[in-house]
Amino acid sequence: MFVVGLTGDVGAGKTTVASMLSQLGAQYISADRIVSELWQDEDILKAAKDRWGTRVFSDGGTPLPERISEIIFEDEGEYKWLCNLLHPRVREQMEAKVLFGSGLIVAEIPLLFENGVPWWVDFTVYVTSPMEERIKRNSERGWDELELTRREKWLMPQEIKLKASDWVIANDRRLDELRVEVKKLMVFLKKISCCIEGFFTCGSFEEAERIAKKLLEKNLVACTNIVDVESRYLWLGNLESETEYLVVFKSIESLFPEIERVVRDEHSYDLPVVTAQRMKKASIDVRKWIMEECGS
């Protein structure tokens, strides 16, 4: 599992980018969609009614987003109150969806940096766009420059978020050009999300060192560690016990078949066991290092 936190300027095209990534195979989770569902929760409705009265509801009791917006984007206190009401629940639900997910996950989170990047986000993407382009794209909503500025005035400054992001998409181009940029991002994400950590054991330190060196020389792994272990295992129905040497390596998933082949060819065991799994948590710098050293 590898989670991308996607955010950006108001009206810059975050959802468009998320949709493109979804079409390319990523699982998509939307914070805005969760917020819409929360507005059907009785506790949320009661809190809003107690705070603002019936003026933010239709005659049928349905929340009116435009009236709520008029309140929260004019008063920072009201804005923070609503954020404190909704966002802990949003993060809780997003975390649950992420932990039950698999593969590459894109979580679109408008307030990704303002509320703190969650521990489960591995990589951040920021979508930016010039004001004039955002006005054009949001004309159907009736959002002009004044409205966009109003919706952003309580947010963290753009320049801070740009510096904090791992990848920036400048959405100042045609849709087909944006799609090309998103495909480049997807190629990178697939590579960086496929870093693995694996291991195998050898009967002697010399054998472990020799095989580890060969894997490094072939640029199949970025690093190896060799440690002695006391092994207990079944072989032909008998319980065996011996000192072995565990070789731990870091690499990328696409190289695993070749790693396994080299180990089998060089190993003294009839059945050397080579296993690996995707790294669950590692910094982007570490992942980039593994990719570069493995020649990807």
- Report the 3 state secondary structure along 19-76: HHHHHCCCEEEEHHHHHHHHCCCHHHHHHHHHHHHHHHECCCCCECHHHHHHHHCCCH
Angstrom CA distances, 233 to 16, 247, 280, stand at 53, 17, 27
Encoding tokens for residue 12? 């810059």
Residue with tokens 């740009």: 162
What region, left, alpha or beta, does residue 116 occupy, with left being phi > 0 and alpha being psi -120 to 50 degrees?
Answer: left
> Rounded distance, CA 27 to CA 18, Å?
9
Residue partners of 281: CB distance under 8 A and separation at least 6: 122
DSSP one-letter string for 111-128? TTTTT---TT--EEEEEE
Q: 């960086």: which residue's tokens? A: 192
Identify residue 263 by its one-letter amino acid code. V
- For residue 72, what are its two tokens? 């929260």
Among the listed residues 228, 282, 275, 236, the one whose alpha carbon sits nearest the alpha carbon of residue 256: 275
Which residue positions form the known binding site for ATP? 11-16
Which residues are annotated binding-site positions? 11-16
Torsion-angle region of 3 (φ positive above 0: left; ψ -120 to 50: alpha; else: beta): beta
